[in-house]
Amino acid sequence: MTPALPSGGGTPIFQPPGRNSGEAQMLFKKSGGVSWLIVFLGNPGPRYEFTRHNAGFIAVDEIARQLGVSIDRSKFDALTADVTIGGKRALLMKPQTYMNLSGVAVEKAASFYKIPPENVLVLFDDISLEPGKLRIRRKGTHGGHNGIRSIIDYLQSDNFPRVKLGVGAKPNPNYDLADWVLSTFTEAERKSLNEAASHCKEIAELVITGAIEKAMNLYNS
């Protein structure tokens, strides 16, 4: 996929035309607007609601519950909520583009708010971790995850923090991967995932306040 650029030209999404990145950051900080995107990956619709691939959506529902907000504002091809977390304004996002085009929604929001990739926190499912396990990373490759691949393509960068939510490995090597990630959790697995999701608000606060190392030490499996 060819990375999408903002409409009107090839200017990087986080750098306004005619300004270098440092000037853009200074301008943005003075605005007092949204300074972080917290993106939760999944597929829209009841068909996918409790599938493994929707671990990110399950996590954001828990964060929304803790913050007392509803993620119901339709914007940037996503359902969103404007919140304050870690002392910063952040936009919670549930892209409605389906997993493989998650980058479309993220690029639109990042471009609008002039947010650099390093201020985009993404939470998503990972089949290499058991349900209930977490792994926090500063940046990295897509690792075969199509939602992350899309975000990297559209932001033209892999330099964004992410939280991997364990959903369990395929039961055997011959099991089709698509069928596995679109399968539903067992009751025990869902309980483990819910427990992991209960920590995601604190993880987001630590990442946003520059304490990602502490978050990794506390929660990485």
Nearest to 39 by CA among 151, 149, 141: 151
CB under 8 Å to 37, separation ≥6 — which residues?
90, 91, 93, 106, 109, 110, 113, 115, 119, 120, 121
53 belongs to the catalytic site: yes
Options 53, 142, 145, 199, the catalytic residue: 53
Per DSSP bridges, beta strands 88-95 and 78-85 are antiparallel
Cα angle value 43/49/51 (rounded, 5°)? 85
Which 3 state secondary structure label does DSSP give 67? helix
Q: Which residues are designated catalytic?
A: 53
